[in-house]
Amino acid sequence: MPDVSFSGLLIVAGIAFLAPLLLGLAPRVRLPAVVVEIVAGIIVGPSVLGWVHLDQPIRILSVIGLALLLFLGGLEVEIDRLRGRLLRLSLLGLAISLVLGVAIGWGLKLADLGESPLFLAIVLSATSLGLVIPLLKDAGRTTSEFGQLTIGASSVADFGAVILLSLFFSEGASAGATLVLLLSFVLLVTVIGLAVARAGRSMRIANVLLEQQDTTAELRIRGAVLLLLIFLFLAQRLGLEVILAAFIAGAVLKLLDRDVMMTHPNFHLKLEAIGFGLFIPVFFVSSGVSFDLKALFANPSAILRIPLFLAALLVVRGIPAWLYRPVIGTRSSAVAALLQATSLPFIVAATQIGIQLGTIDRVTGAALVAAGLLSVLIFPALALTLLARSDQPASANLGDQDQLVSKEAQE
């Protein structure tokens, strides 16, 4: 057996287990588990206690976790709903976000508080779709026009940010060369997607998948993992970022796996169990372990960047939400603005890429992640408060109607 130390991985696994457990024991603490995982990673990492360092086992599991996180994010994209006015508003909103992001990036660069304006614009333009959708589901708003606009805009923002990051900030290639590679990748993805779709129409293959999907073979899950790894391999060979490949793999699987007849209703649940049960928590905890807290507090200007980046998130992703006012009203647009400004997983992944490429320094990366953590803590809570207030008049009206009906019945 290889000489591998499991001490660090044991602590990481313990954090992954305890974070949701403790939150479950304290239901009044409305806090995403990823925030606890990252903060705990910072505490046990070199910046504070020094109990955990990024050794090879943790790094490998973390990379797989990142891939699965983006893969499941691609599965969340409601491609069928992105059409007509919804698509136009979402694309226009992303364009406005990028313009605002570049302007803010240049302002921070002139103030010597940031590096690449384009990189900052791309990082600030993303929305954490995986955090927004559960909030809307819990509030019962996913099927409403407000929910559809927010999910559609978040989907376009996530997809656009991943594409742009891969296009302009892939290692060792110019934008033009990367565009050619990106088109080649899209062509290969299309060919693979058509081949898989054609194979899926074979009754013989469909019957085998149906027979072995819930056995120890777990054939459908193995096929999904194989599809993800094929896309990761192609992206690596073409010199593209793996986050692009993972996200597109999820989106392609979403297109291919309609399951109109509900023959495999547990398929996505099993994929989420693999991802969120093991690999993805390792990615978030290890992100906290690699967080350079000492560099962040090394000088006052570094601390100043955190509220600036937090405000930039709200401006870049919040202002485009006002496009929705004629459709869903002012209060719902404000809620959408807060939800769209919520971003963390993409920021964590993008800052790691930026630091590796030398596009940003570790201080800027740490400040961006800290701003992302605050956005997850603050913006959804404010959004839920506004949603609750918007429901009160409706509840009061319903109560008045009930009283009126009761009075008429008595008469």
Q: What is the DSSP string of 337-363?
A: HHHHT---HHHHHHHHHHHHHTSS-HH
Confidence band for 15, pLDDT divided at 50, 70 and 90: very high
Looking at residue 321, the DSSP 8-state letter turns out to be G
Q: Tell me the mean pLDDT in the region 95-111.
A: 90
- What is the mean pLDDT of the segment spanning 52-81? 83
Q: What is the pLDDT of residue 174?
A: 60
Residue 365: is its pLDDT beyond 80?
A: yes
Query: d(Cα 399, Cα 410) in Å, to the nearest integer?
Result: 17
263 pLDDT tier (thresholds 50, 70, 90): low
CA distances from 39 to 85, 135, 292, 334 (A): 40, 21, 12, 29
For residues 175 and 380, which has the higher predicted lDDT (pLDDT)? 380
Reply yes or no on whether the pLDDT at 313 is more than 50. yes
Cβ count near 355 (within 10 Å): 17
Res 399: pLDDT: 44
- Tell me the C-alpha distance between 372 and 315, whole Å: 14
What's the average model confidence in pLDDT over 375-382?
Answer: 86
Q: Which residue has the higher pLDDT, 242 or 326?
A: 326
Greater pLDDT, 214 or 177: 214
What is the largest distance, in Å, between two alpha-carbon atoms of the chain? 85
pLDDT for the residue 41: 92
What's the pLDDT at 309?
92
| Of 120 and 185, more confident | 120
CB 317 within 8 A of CB 127: yes
pTM of the model: 0.77
Quick one: which of 233, 207, 231, 232 has its CA closest to 220? 207
Choice between 333 and 145, residue whose per-residue pLDDT is larger: 333
**Per DSSP, which regions of 154-296 are E strands?**
none
Looking at per-residue confidence, does 393 or 386 come out higher? 386
pLDDT band of residue 282 (cuts 50, 70, 90) is very high
Tell me the per-residue pLDDT of 226-246, one tens digit each, with 9 for 90 and over: 989 998 888 888 777 777 788
Which pLDDT band, with edges at 50, 70 and 90, does 2 fall under?
A: low
> Looking at the chain, how many residues does it have?
411
- Measured N-to-C along each axis, helices 145-168 and 129-139 cross at an angle, to the nearest 10 degrees, of 170
CA 129/CA 82 separation, integer angstroms: 14
Please give the radius of gyration of the chain, using alpha carbons only, rounded to the nearest integer. 22
Q: Where are the alpha helices (DSSP H) in 216-361?
A: 219-238, 242-256, 267-274, 280-289, 293-296, 300-318, 325-328, 330-340, 345-357
Residue 192 to residues 231, 249, 278: CA-CA distances in angstroms?
Answer: 9, 10, 28
Q: Is the pLDDT of residue 396 over 50?
A: no
The rounded mean pLDDT for the chain is 81
Average pLDDT over residues 257-264: 63
pLDDT at 403: 46
Decide if 120 contacts 104 (C-beta within 8 A): yes
Q: What is the pLDDT of residues 189-204, one digit of tens each?
A: 888 888 888 877 777 8
Rounded to whole angstroms, the Cα distance separating 352 from 289 reads: 13
**DSSP class of 28:** T
Give the C-alpha distances (Å, rounded to integers) separating 236 from 239, 245, 288.
Answer: 5, 9, 26
